[in-house]
Chain A
Amino acid sequence: MRLVTAIIKPFRLDDVRDALARIGIQGMTVTEVKGFGRQKGHTELYRGAEYVVDFLPKVKLEVAISAELVDQALEAISDAAKTGKIGDGKIFVYNLEQVIRIRTGETGEDAI
């Protein structure tokens, strides 16, 4: 099992969710985060004082996926999240040791 973490542009979230649903992945956790990679921030003005906004709003998606579906999922996320412009984000794949469904107590692949 793998935990796929994707940092994407916030307005791509709906498309990514739909793309994952199309390959059968229904559950995910989404967090609002801020970050930057090589995308530069911008300066804003507040009452005449300049300030630099380095940390840009992004969305972090976390999905637990069985190993067989991972490549499909990576492709789905990439295609849906891509705009071709700088700041599109990154995907990280972690090994997932254990998953438990709290309501039923199911573990492992049954819990995904």
Chain B
Amino acid sequence: MEDSIFQLSYALDTFYFLICGALVMWMAAGFAMLEAGLVRSKNTVAILTKNVALYSIACIMYLICGYSIMYGGGDFIMFLDGITADGVSGSEEPATYAPSSDFFFQVVFVATAMSIVSGAVAERIKIWAFLIFAVFMTGFIYPMEGAWTWGGEAVLGLYTLGDLGFSDFAGSGIVHMAGAAAALAGALILGARKGKYGPDGKINALPGANLPLATLGTFILWLGWFGFNGGSVLATASVESANAVAVVFMNTNSAAAGGLIAALITARLIFGKADLSMALNGALAGLVAITAEPSTPSALQAPIFGALGGVLVVFSIVLLDKARIDDPVGAISVHGTVGLLGLLLVPITNGESASFSGQIIGALTIFFWVFITSGIVWYALKVLIGIRVTEEDEYRGIDVAECGLEAYPEFTSGTK
């Protein structure tokens, strides 16, 4: 009897992990649609190509070496060798869920972190330079900081974040702020889009071509996030974990709602109009804000935390523009600025696992590691192959220049 219950709970936990992983995979579609909607039509194919390719690169690189770097515990195993169907070879405890489901759940998080970068460098990056960067980010940069956090390893052998009071439940810092750090490094080295900033501090609008897609993308991300936060409970086959999962789903949802409303109202107050693109960013900001600790906030605290993210993201977007850091979709603000906020909110409701000092040390560790290593890779790519398209290609549209395709072709004629 006991064995059948174990079998059942193993199966249920595995199933849960897989479904949550599938939901997070669906976030890749969300990012693709959101970004496609916020860039101009002449650059749409390029960003879609980047999104589908980076997801695939993440899956392969993480399989080749990333997973092992992050969770291998110092043994470097390539191609998931040794992570057999029955459990990691040589491990002391029997697994309570299928090991492959753990890989599946983890790999989609890597893709999420990498996907954040694509929005910030949109409309002027060379696709192949971006994809080469993706290889480094997903195969090495992210797995290293993942090892120091979820992997429990010491940071370059110096200190262990968990011991210092660092806690990041589903990845506000580990995934989102890390992605934003890589994005920021890229955006700084790449430079702003032509025509975005004028003399005397003038900021020009380059409106997105398809707000329905952007909205759809946001809702898709919202849905996928239930897997992102929900799956991070890591189990569901007990009353305790099922209760935790339910609270996480509930808080994730209300944080998004709080973020959206707060951003919408903030945009209305500052700009005088209800800016949909800000509202969408606000919903995502709410989600990022709750991601570091979605299980301990009360039902009221969750939307309030989300709302803090929603207000912060609007100001962050405006300030980045004033600093002439061009981020076409607001990725650095949504995931970076609010990712940091998410980390700092944890001690408010979970003082046991996290302290403010621990969160700050963790945030600085993640940020500097990712920012500096990313900066090195971006700079090396810039010197070796160039990372920015030519000015003429930028004006023509990188779809035609880099992909040879139009997203919305109207006056084409086939050749026989």
Contact = CB atoms under 8 A, between A and B. Distances in A.
Instruction: Say whether chain A's binding surface is mostly helix, strand, loop, or mixed.
Output: strand
B275 interface: yes
A14 B318 CA distance: 43
Nearest to B273: A45
A50 B204 CA distance: 7
Interface in B129-149: none
Contact of B278 (A47, A50, A51): A47
Contacts of B204: 49, 51
A55 to B, nearest CB: 14
Interface residues of B, number: 16
Interface string A37-63: 000000011111111000000000000
B411 interface: no
A50 B278 CA distance: 15
Nearest to B329: A47
A104 B344 CA distance: 78
A48 B273 contact: no
A13 B210 CA distance: 26
Contacts of B205: 44-47, 49-51
Nearest to A48: B318
A82 B273 CA distance: 31
Interface string A20-33: 00000000000000
Nearest to A52: B205
A64 B118 CA distance: 52
A51 B207 CA distance: 10
B277 interface: yes
A45 B205 CA distance: 8
Nearest to B196: A49
Contact of B321 (A45, A49, A51): A49
B236 to A, nearest CB: 39
B317 A47 contact: yes
B330 interface: yes
Contacts of A49: 203-205, 321
B377 to A, nearest CB: 29
B408 interface: no
Contacts of B203: 48-49
Contacts of B278: 47
B210 to A, nearest CB: 14
Contacts of A44: 205
Given A45-B273, A48-B270, A48-B271, 4 more contacts: A45-B205, A46-B275, A48-B317, A49-B204
Interface of A: 44-51
27 contacts: A44-B205, A45-B205, A45-B271, A45-B272, A45-B273, A45-B275, A46-B205, A46-B206, A46-B207, A46-B275, A46-B277, A47-B275, A47-B277, A47-B278, A47-B317, A47-B318, A47-B321, A48-B203, A48-B271, A48-B317, A49-B203, A49-B204, A49-B205, A49-B321, A51-B204, A51-B205, A51-B207
- The 4 lowest CB-CB distance pairs between A and B, nearest first, are A46-B205, A49-B205, A51-B205, A49-B203
